[in-house]
Structure 1
Amino acid sequence: MPTASSSPSADTPAKRMRRKESRPSELLAAALDLFVEKGFAATRVEEVAQRAGVSKGTLFLYFPSKDELFKAVVRQTLAGRFHEWSDEVDSFTGSSAELLHYGMHSWWERVGNTQASGMTKLMLSEAQNFPEMAAFYQAEVVQPYHSLVQRILQRGVDRGEFAAVDLELATYAVTAPLIFLAMWKHSVGTHPCTASVLDPLRYLDAQVQILLNGLRVRPAPA
């Protein structure tokens, strides 16, 4: 005979509590998928709730608007990770060239090769129509990322490994290959005929080599 502790009714409160605690992450995962698939404007909160398996009213208990839902997605998938990445830059013991290589590979493994990279395409296509959303993304993602890249480049200059360059403009040179990969992954990279044409890690290796050939200090001519 089953005991009270093993009966289905006894397990229900605990299961409900676990379900309630997991709802925000389930809603954010559903929202990320839909934002990437359909864009911000075309995504309806009803669709997010349906994909997460809850009612629209339940969604609004956690996120009072679609704008707040978008901000939460950005913070969870991108903005919330800069402390981790900053600590890695601080503790890195190799050369600045190795740090740049590590950083670009790490971006692909943690962001570029995930659904989160689709946010890049979303922002490039819809920022003009949603200036407040664009300003939020600029403050939470773009500016911290640029600061991180500039720290890597400044590290190389300070150690005599990189030539002195305009750090602000050089940051765009480092960023461009990553934006290309994000756009590629969520457009032609999904097509069976083109998905195998480009190896992302080999592409990044080539881009790092090109960057370093331009950044490295060269001996003065005799």
Structure 2
Amino acid sequence: MPRTKEQYEQMRIATREKIQAAAMQLFVQKGFGSTNVQDIADAAGISIGLLYRHYKSKEKLFNELVDFALAGMAQQMEYFESNEVSPKQAMDQFVHEIYNDMMTGEQFANLLILMQQSFLTGGGAAVNHVEVTRVSEQLFAATAKLIKRGQERGEFRSGNPDEMVLLFYSTIHGLAAMKMMLQHNFQMPSPVALTSFLYKEGE
């Protein structure tokens, strides 16, 4: 019985997801420059020809992964700016999502490291560094505004919001690197530990 269009589309999506997962793991472990297309195909369990049907080059694959990370950052920024919940509730939700992602898999940590590689190694010749910088700065600014609103409401500790943002994201990126380095010996700090410098005591 021939496959339906829906079945072919599901197969196409499943193959792309395998390629993306394999590429992300290799880019993080070996670096962009040391990873070749054959490595990715082997790790994904597919032929190199099938990989090329989905991605014409490893640069395009790398860029798509970076775009995925940027989309997540933009979505989080919009949530911080939406005022749907209190600043503390918004930060709590964000931190719990980070905690759960770090506890249950490697994708979030890999995405953070991939973003760092896009800056430090120039991975992906066509990566739009201007866009990466723009979205990153917007997320940092949105987080600083969230902290400032939380301070005005008496939910957050006093202090320079920009410095607090820098400390917060530096901690998250550092934890992503530690997770990759320590593997099974990694122990993710609790959400309370991650926000202890943000919230007033007793909050």
- Shorter chain as normaliser: what TM range? 0.7 to 0.9
| C-alpha RMSD of the superposition | 3.4
Contact 2:73 2:136 (C-alpha < 8 Å) held by counterparts: no
Q: Distance in 2 between matches of 1:70 and 1:136?
A: 16
Name which of 58, 71, 81 aligns with 2:50.
58
Aligned to 1:183, the other structure's residue is in SS state: helix
> Is 2:194 the partner of 1:200?
no
Asked if 1:209 corresponds to 2:201, the answer is no
Shift in Å, 1:144: 4.2
CA distance change for structure 1 residues 144 and 130 in 2, over 3 Å: closer, same or farther? same
Q: Is 1:114 aligned to residue 108 of structure 2?
A: no
| CA deviation map 1:168-214 (0-9, x unaligned) | 332102212212221221112x25xx44xx3422xx41231223249
Quick one: structure 1 residues 170 and 19, their matched pair in 2 at CA, closer, same or farther if it must change by over 3 Å?
same
1:160 positional shift? 5.3
Q: What is the aligned length? A: 197
- Stretches of structure 1 lacking an aligned partner (at least 5 in a row): 1-9, 217-222
Q: Which runs of 4+ in 1 moved over 4 A?
A: 12-17, 122-126, 131-134, 160-165
Which piece of structure 1 moves more, 96-105 or 156-165?
156-165
- The alignment partner of 2:199 has SS state of helix
TM-score (norm 1): 0.69
Following the alignment from structure 2 to structure 1, what is the Cα–Cα distance between the partners of residues 43 and 137?
32
**CA deviation map 1:38-78 (0-9, x unaligned):** 222221111212333333333233322222111111223x2
Rg larger in structure = 1
Tell me the equivalent position of 2:139.
145
- Letter aligned with residue 192 of structure 2: D
> Structure 2: how far apart are the matches of 1:148 and 1:106?
18
Once the two structures are aligned, what percentage of the paired residues are identical? 20
